[in-house]
Amino acid sequence: MEAAISLNNLSKHFEDKKRGLVKAVDELTFNCRPGSIFGLLGLNGAGKTTTLRILATMLTPTSGTAIVGGYNVQTEPDKVKSKIGFLTGNTGLYLRLTPREIITYFGRLSGMDTSAVKSRGNQLIEALDMGEFADRRIDKLSTGQKQKTSIARTMIHNPPILILDEPTAGLDVLTSRAIIKLVRSAKDDGKCVIFSTHIMHEAAAICDDIAVIHRGRLRAIGTLETFRKKYQLEDLDDIFVAIIKNGGAA
């Protein structure tokens, strides 16, 4: 089966005044399959957001290639954009609009007709339990309510590939569960989901494949089962720490 996302020696270097050359992403190579959930784990500053921003065409790589939905992120960014939904911490929400207006706006922007936007919008509002605040202005919403709005915005056009940067960070248990359920159903619909998280039990529960990156480099990649066998540990927390400390090979 053809990969939905394919990275080949992907690197991103930043020139930092104080730190000098920062290899935020350092020769990453891996694939993500359609109909699967791929988890990207790493400490703060490991390079997760930078990687995901390159895949979403928001940043250009220093070297290497990334193919997303069959298109090259550097030479065909518009085609890549038509295949993805991208969620990141600073996804813009217009404060004066309501969640329903934002979802509708982005659905229309991606070429959906009014009735499709309405029915899929209603589906997402229900799936994420947003009914109570869907018609309130964004600037009056809580963090979790805004996050649900961002997720609905990311998914309104039903893209085959979802790129989610810490989708459940800072959310209560019910909100997290609603989002995880939606991610699972996206997978069941055949979509490819790549997401970053610091919440190990979530990654353990839903990821088909897990990659651990450390200082921009791939340290380990596999399924939870292969990690359990290799490291002789049960919890992903412990496995993660072992990989980071021992420098486990990919």
Kindly give the pairing relationship between strand 63-68 and strand 5-16: antiparallel
CB of 50 to Mg ion, least distance (A): 8
Residues that bind ligand ATP (CB under 6 A): 14, 16, 22, 24, 42, 44-50
Query: Is 175 a binder of Mg ion (CB under 5 A)?
Result: no
**Contacted entry of Mg ion, ligand ATP, none for residue 14, CB cut-off 5 to 8 Å set by kind:** ligand ATP
Identify the burial level of 249 via C-beta atoms within 10 angstroms of its C-beta, where 0-12 means exposed, 13-18 middle and 19 or more buried: exposed
Place of tokens 């909100």: 175
CB of 3 to ligand ATP, least distance (A): 22
**Closer Cβ to ligand ATP, 22 or 125, answer by number:** 22
**Closer Cβ to Mg ion, 143 or 232, answer by number:** 143
**Contacted entry of ligand ATP, Mg ion, none for residue 42, CB cut-off 5 to 8 Å set by kind:** ligand ATP
Binding mask of the shown chain, residues 47 to 66, with x at each position contacting Mg ion by CB under 5 A: -xx-----------------
Q: Which amino acid is at 188?
A: D
CB of 150 to ligand ATP, least distance (A): 16
**Contacted entry of ligand ATP, Mg ion, none for residue 150, CB cut-off 5 to 8 Å set by kind:** none
Touching Mg ion, residues 211-250 (CB under 5 A): none
**Closer Cβ to ligand ATP, 50 or 57, answer by number:** 50
Residue pair 13/22 in contact (Cβ under 8 Å)? The answer is: yes
CB of 58 to ligand ATP, least distance (A): 11
**Closer Cβ to ligand ATP, 50 or 98, answer by number:** 50
Measure the CA dihedral 46/50/55/60, to 10°: -140
Name 217's bridge partners.
214
Residue pair 239/248 in contact (Cβ under 8 Å)? The answer is: no
**Could you give the 3-state DSSP secondary structure of residue 41?**
strand
**Contacted entry of Mg ion, ligand ATP, none for residue 47, CB cut-off 5 to 8 Å set by kind:** ligand ATP
Measure the CA dihedral 97/98/100/106, to 10°: 30
Residue 242 CA to its chain's centroid (Å):
24
**Contacted entry of ligand ATP, Mg ion, none for residue 193, CB cut-off 5 to 8 Å set by kind:** none
Q: How many CB atoms lie within 10 A of CB 65?
A: 15
**Contacted entry of Mg ion, ligand ATP, none for residue 22, CB cut-off 5 to 8 Å set by kind:** ligand ATP
**Could you give the 3-state DSSP secondary structure of residue 102?**
helix
CB of 91 to ligand ATP, least distance (A): 14
Distance CA(152)–CA(213), nearest Å, equals 28
Query: Is 149 a binder of Mg ion (CB under 5 A)?
Result: no
For the record, the structure tokens of 92 come out as: 């813009």
Residue ranges in contact with Mg ion by CB under 5 A: 48-49
